[in-house]
Amino acid sequence: MSMDDPRPYDLTVDGRAVRVTARPDTPVLSVLRDDLGLLGTRTGCLQGRCGSCTVHLDGKAVQTCSLPLWSVEGRRIDTVEGPSPTLARVREAFLEEQAAQCGYCVNGIMMTVSALLDEGVRDRSEMLETLDERHLCRCGAHPRMLRAIDRLLEGAA
């Protein structure tokens, strides 16, 4: 058996303990989508730029398209399909503002926003800076998303 052969990995996804048997370098995105059927985490550029594939890893927003399975062994992953109350608030604010066009980018963006809120970030420009570095939206839905974020920041202040 080579080091690259599939082997079982234990992790916690959306609050559930799961065991996945896969090669160690399998991207976490592919584990979520193709092993666990969690398709709300989107496949985008697979180049680490667009942010569509963002989840929470031990509470921090991370992109999963280049994140190898071996590196998340024993850790906690929360996806856009998970039960986080902060995420639920973020989603409601986004729906309230109808902050999407196609909606493809939005799940990743909501994950980053909810992680930042959980970390206690209340500063708009800090939030913007992170979103700018980690997320793209090609439809130009940003102004609406910013309105949803303002709503959340007001609510959290």
Partner 1 sequence: MTELPSNLKSNPRLDRWIDVAPDGTITIRSGKVELGQGIGAAMLLIAASELRVDPAALTLAPADTARAPAEGFTAGSLSVEHGGAAMRLAVAMARALFMQAAEAALGAPVELENGLFSVPGTNRSVGYGDLAAEVDLSVSALDQPIPVLFGEGDGAPGFRRPDLPAKLSGAAFIQDLRLPGMLFGRVLRPEAPWLRLDGFDEAAVAALPGVVRVVRDGAFAGVVAERDDDARAAIEKARRSARWSRIGTLPTCDEAQTWLDAPAEEAETLLEDAGEPAETVTRLSSSYARGFLVHAAMGPSCAVAHWTDGRLDLHTHSQGIHPLRKQLATALRIAEDAINAVHVPGAGCYGHNAADDVALDAALLARAVDRPVMVLWSREDEMSWSPHGAAMRVDLAAGLSAEGRITHWDCRIASTPHVARPGSGNGLDLLAARDLETPHPPSTQSNFKVPDRGADRNSVPIYALPQRRVRLNQRPQGPLRSSALRALGAHANVFAVESFMDELAAAAGADPLAFRLAHCEDPRAAAVLKAAASAGGWDPDEPGGEGIGRGLGVARYKNSGAYYAAMVRVEIEESVRVVSIHGAVDAGRVVHRDGLINQVEGGAVQAVSWTLMEEARWTDEGFAVRAWEDYPVLGFRDMPEIVTEVLRSDAPPLGAGECSAGPVAGAIGNAVAHALGVRARRMPITRERVMAAMDAAL
> Which residue lies nearer to partner 1 by CB, 47 or 120?
47
C-alpha 141/C-alpha 150 separation (Å) is: 15
Does residue 105 interact with partner 1 by CB under 8 A? yes
Among 11, 36, 141, 153, binds ligand FES (CB under 6 A): 141
C-alpha 43/C-alpha 138 separation (Å) is: 15
Q: Is 38 left (phi over 0), alpha (psi -120 to 50) or beta?
A: beta
Over the window 5 to 24, marking each residue x when it contacts ligand FES by CB under 6 A and - when it does not, the resulting string is --------------------
C-alpha 75/C-alpha 4 separation (Å) is: 21
Selection from ligand FES, partner 1, none that 53 binds (CB < 5 to 8 A by kind) is ligand FES
Does residue 50 interact with ligand FES by CB under 6 A? yes
Task: Pick out residues in 81-120 that bind ligand FES (CB under 6 A).
Answer: 100-106
C-alpha separations of 27 from 19, 35, 43, 96, 140 in Å:
15, 11, 11, 33, 29
Spatial CB neighbours of 77, under 8 Å, sequence gap ≥ 6? 11, 12, 13, 14, 28, 32, 55, 56, 57
| Pairing of the two strands 60-63 and 54-57 | antiparallel
Over the window 13 to 32, marking each residue x when it contacts partner 1 by CB under 8 A and - when it does not, the resulting string is ----------x--xx--x--
Report whether 145 contacts 137 (CB < 8 A): yes
Does residue 9 interact with partner 1 by CB under 8 A? no
Among 11, 20, 36, 43, binds partner 1 (CB under 8 A): 43
> Which residue lies nearer to partner 1 by CB, 9 or 94?
94
Binding site for partner 1 (CB under 8 A): 23, 26-27, 30, 33-34, 37-40, 42-47, 49-50, 52, 80-81, 91, 94-95, 98, 100-107, 110, 128-129, 131-132, 135-146
